[in-house]
């Protein structure tokens, strides 16, 4: 099935650095979601975006819904070791309950 | 907050046996349950969508007779892997969805079930 283009595939950073990852699509989505998945667990919702141009924060996390509705980015500021995990973006079209996922960004934070 | 549980969290079975995985929404009514499969180092792949009281809709390439889904109530859906084979070994995750508005939708993933078929 369709997947979103998520980049980078992996990141290795030092504790305290900022992180940025993004997702793009060739088609429009009405909702963008960002999830974090720890090993052996289900994804946990970090931020949900519902309007084009919307910028939403959740603690050190900030995400934006692109104006074209075809992209979104997630920023993590001042990373800490517990930020380690795989981050997935997901898009949802209007009238559909299905989610289309990116392939994930694996984040490693070195103390 | 809302919680979705899955049982069991992990299971090991012999090839040819059937395994049932339960997904429960604990504090909201899930009108729709989604079942995903995730292989190591890969993203989540949707297997099927089920609405309470009706037959599940399977994604292309997913065998409906092998992966039986039942959504008998608004808080419980089950996935049964019939005649399991080693290639069915994977991480199975459910997502419970309840709501009618994009801004009030409630949708949460379960913690996943690790299936290993010997």
pLDDT of chain B along its 118 residues, tens only? 668 999 999 999 999 999 999 999 988 888 899 999 999 989 999 999 998 888 899 999 999 999 999 998 999 999 999 999 999 999 999 999 886 555 556 678 999 999 999 9
Which residues in chain A have Cβ-Cβ distances shorter than 8 Å to B112? Answer: 40-42
Task: State pLDDT tens for residues A33-83.
Answer: 999 999 999 999 999 999 999 999 999 999 999 999 999 999 999 999 999
A-chain CB neighbours of B108 within 8 Å are: 45
Q: CA-CA distance, A6 to B46, in Å (whole number)?
A: 18
- Report how far apart, in Å, the C-alpha atoms of A56 and of each of A5, A45, B15, B40 are: 21, 13, 47, 31
Residues 24-53 on B with a CB inside 8 Å of A are: 32, 34, 42-46, 49
End-to-end CA distance of chain B: 37
Q: How confident is the model at residue A27 (pLDDT cuts 50, 70, 90)?
A: very high
Which has more confidence, A97 or A21?
A: A21
What pLDDT is stored for residue A1 in this prediction?
Answer: 57
Q: What local confidence, expressed as pLDDT, does residue A2 receive?
A: 67
Instruction: Decide: A99 and A33 in contact? Cβ < 8 Å.
Output: yes
Residue of A nearest to B105 (CA): A97
Give the dihedral sign, CA B94/B99/B101/B105.
negative
Ranges assigned E (strand) in chain B: 4-7, 10-13, 19-25, 32-38, 45-51, 57-58, 67-73, 76-81, 90-98, 106-109, 113-117
Average pLDDT, chain A: 94
CB of A2 closer than 8 Å to CB of A100: yes
User: How does pLDDT run across B44-60, given as a tens digit for each residue?
Assistant: 999 999 988 888 999 99
pLDDT at B54: 85
Strands (E) located in chain A:
5-7, 10-14, 19-24, 31-37, 44-49, 55-58, 61-65, 71-76, 85-92, 100-101, 105-110
Share of chain A above pLDDT 70, in %: 98
B32, B95, B111 ranked by CB distance to A41: nearest: B111
Q: What is the pLDDT of residue B100?
A: 59
How many CB atoms within 10 Å of residue A41? 16
């Amino acid at each position: 099935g369709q997947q979103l283009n998520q980049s980078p595939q992996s990141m290795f950073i030092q504790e305290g650095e900022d992180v940025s990852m993004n997702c793009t699509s060739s088609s429009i989505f009405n909702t963008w979601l960002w999830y974090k998945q720890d090993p052996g667990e289900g994804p946990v919702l970090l931020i949900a975006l519902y309007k084009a141009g919307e910028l939403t924060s959740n603690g050190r996390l900030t995400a934006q819904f692109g104006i074209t509705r075809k992209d979104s980015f997630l920023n993590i500021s001042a990373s800490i070791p517990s930020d380690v995990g795989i981050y997935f973006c997901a898009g949802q079209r209007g009238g559909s309950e299905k989610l289309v996922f990116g392939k994930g960004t694996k984040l490693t934070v070195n103390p | 907050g809302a919680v979705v549980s899955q049982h069991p969290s992990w299971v090991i079975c012999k090839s040819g046996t059937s395994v049932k995985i339960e997904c429960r929404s604990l504090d909201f009514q899930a009108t729709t349950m989604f079942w995903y499969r995730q292989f190591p180092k890969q993203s989540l792949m949707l297997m099927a969508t089920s609405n309470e009281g009706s037959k599940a809709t399977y994604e292309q390439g997913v065998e409906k007779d092998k992966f039986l889904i039942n959504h008998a109530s608004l808080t419980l859906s089950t996935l049964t892997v019939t005649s399991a084979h080693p290639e069915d070994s994977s991480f199975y995750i459910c997502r419970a969805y309840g709501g009618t508005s994009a801004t009030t939708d409630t949708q949460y993933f379960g913690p996943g079930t690790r299936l290993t078929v010997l």
